[in-house]
């Protein structure tokens, strides 16, 4: 019973741990309080560090193997399992837990944002590679503790959190804009699908349509086939031709028009005379219109109107068919 047993003792945060050699449970409490900085008069409870089993019996203490690790708890302290870096923070909700400086460091190191803060401390540019969840974790971190972890003043840490929040807001706006654009494109594709079949039918119909009769130009004569048809088949053809066509007929002369129309000289001459008369009539009409305009315009514009009249006589406007 007097054999001394090597043991380990730690506080409830596991930040302080010491090795002792004691013969009894009472001496374990005494030396443990001494090493951990507890008052000898403070009541403590001894539990197994690995599972929280309370050790109060001397016989049970002696049955435990050497180097067993014990945890000494004050009155309001409770045992908790070893914290994981990715674990929850429910242990922070214990009632009336008084933490010393080492315990505060343990709380910070176990918080989810602690590792992210260390990344930023080593390389601030690493924030670019962080996910939105990581950024939100840093934004939600307690500002004083974040400032301490980064080595910043609290105001600078607060500015950092505001900047990260703006980044998150901008990403959310970009995401919403992208979703709206995708919805618009889907709606546009759906609408195009409804219009595709009628459009294809219209294109097929347009491709099947022939060029309107009469628009082809006769290579030998230079007249459009429609003009030749009017000259040959219509009564008073001069009234059905445009001013440009009339000028072409008059300019060709009798001999050339005989070959184009295949008529005799008398008939061709009569046609050209009728075309000349029609052309002269149209020129007189143009001059009459210009004269009316001159009478209705101020004197200051009369000179320019007379000039326009002369130009109209030299280059007659195209008449209606």
The string of pLDDT tens digits covering residues 89-145 is: 444 544 434 444 444 444 444 578 888 888 888 888 887 878 888 889 888 888 888
pLDDT band at 82; cut points 50, 70, 90: confident
pLDDT at 176 exceeding the cut of 70: yes
* For range 3-18, the mean pLDDT: 89
**Tell me, what's the pLDDT at 100?**
42
Q: How many helices (H) and strands (E) does the chain have?
A: 11, 4
290, 303 Cβ separation under 8 angstroms: no
pLDDT at 8 exceeding the cut of 90: yes
pLDDT band at 320; cut points 50, 70, 90: very low
Q: Which residue has the higher pLDDT, 110 or 250?
A: 250
- Rounded CA gap, 241 and 218, in Å? 16
Q: How many CA atoms lie within 13 A of 279 on its CB side?
A: 19
165, 138 Cβ separation under 8 angstroms: no
What's 317's DSSP letter? Answer: P
87: part of which helix (H) or strand (E)? none
Q: What strands lie across the sheet with 45-48, from one edge to the other? A: 17-22, 5-10, 68-73, 45-48
pLDDT at 218 exceeding the cut of 80: no
290, 312 Cβ separation under 8 angstroms: yes
Rounded to the nearest 5°, which phi and psi values hold at 73? -115, 135
Least confident of 1-5, 75-79, 188-192, 303-307: 303-307
Rounded to the nearest 5°, which phi and psi values hold at 81? -65, 170
Q: Which residue has the higher pLDDT, 89 or 271?
A: 271
| pTM check: above 0.85 | no
Question: What tens digit of pLDDT does each residue of 186-209 get?
Answer: 888 887 777 666 655 555 555 555
Residue ranges and CATH numbers for the domains of the chain are: 5-73 (3.10.20.10), 100-172 (no CATH), 225-314 (1.10.1490.10)
**pLDDT, the chain, mean:** 77
**Tell me, what's the pLDDT at 205?**
53
**Tell me, what's the pLDDT at 310?**
52
Q: Where are the beta strands (DSSP E) in the chain?
A: 5-10, 17-22, 45-48, 68-73
How far is the CA of 210 from the CAs of 176, 223, 262, in angstroms? 52, 20, 29
Helix axes 101-110, 112-122, angle to 10 degrees: 90
Least confident of 212-221, 239-248, 258-267, 287-296: 212-221
- Rounded CA gap, 306 and 287, in Å? 10
pLDDT band at 318; cut points 50, 70, 90: very low
Of 100, 114, 110, which Cα lies nearest the Cα of 11?
A: 100
Token representation of residue 114: 């602690």
319: part of which helix (H) or strand (E)? none
Q: Is 108 exposed, middle or buried (0-12, 13-18, 19+ CB in 10 A)?
A: middle
**Tell me, what's the pLDDT at 6?**
92
**Tell me, what's the pLDDT at 214?**
55
- Rounded CA gap, 110 and 102, in Å? 12
pLDDT above 90: percentage of residues in the chain: 10
Q: Which residues pair with 72 in a beta bridge?
A: 46
């Amino acid at each position: 019973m007097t054999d001394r047993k090597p043991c380990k003792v730690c506080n409830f945060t596991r930040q302080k741990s010491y090795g002792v050699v004691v013969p009894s449970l009472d001496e374990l409490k005494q030396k443990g309080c001494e090493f951990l900085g507890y008052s000898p008069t403070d009541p403590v409870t001894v539990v197994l560090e690995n599972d929280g089993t309370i050790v109060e019996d001397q016989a049970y203490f002696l049955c435990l193997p050497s180097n067993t690790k014990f945890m000494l708890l004050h009155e309001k302290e409770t045992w908790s399992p070893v914290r994981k870096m990715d674990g929850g923070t429910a242990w922070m909700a214990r009632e009336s837990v008084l933490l010393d400086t080492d315990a505060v460091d343990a709380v910070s190191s176990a918080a989810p944002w602690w590792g992210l803060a260390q990344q930023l401390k080593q390389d601030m540019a690493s924030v670019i590679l962080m996910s939105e969840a990581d950024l939100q974790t840093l934004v939600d971190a307690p500002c004083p503790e974040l400032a301490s972890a980064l080595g910043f003043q609290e105001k600078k840490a607060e500015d950092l959190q505001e900047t990260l929040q703006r980044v998150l807001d901008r990403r959310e706006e970009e995401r919403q804009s992208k979703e709206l654009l995708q919805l618009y494109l889907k709606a546009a594709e759906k609408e195009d699908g409804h219009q595709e079949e009628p459009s294809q039918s219209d294109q097929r119909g347009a491709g099947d349509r022939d060029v309107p009769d009469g628009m082809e130009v006769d290579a030998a004569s230079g007249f459009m086939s429609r003009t030749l048809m009017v000259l040959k088949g219509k009564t008073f053809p001069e009234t059905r031709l445009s001013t440009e066509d009339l000028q072409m007929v008059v300019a060709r002369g009798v001999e050339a028009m005989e070959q184009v129309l295949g008529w005799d000289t008398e008939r061709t001459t009569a046609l050209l005379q009728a075309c000349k008369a029609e052309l002269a009539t149209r020129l007189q009409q143009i001059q009459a219109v210009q004269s009316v305009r001159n009478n209705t315009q101020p004197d200051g514009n009369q000179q320019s109107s007379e000039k326009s009249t002369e130009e109209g006589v030299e280059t007659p406007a195209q008449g209606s068919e």
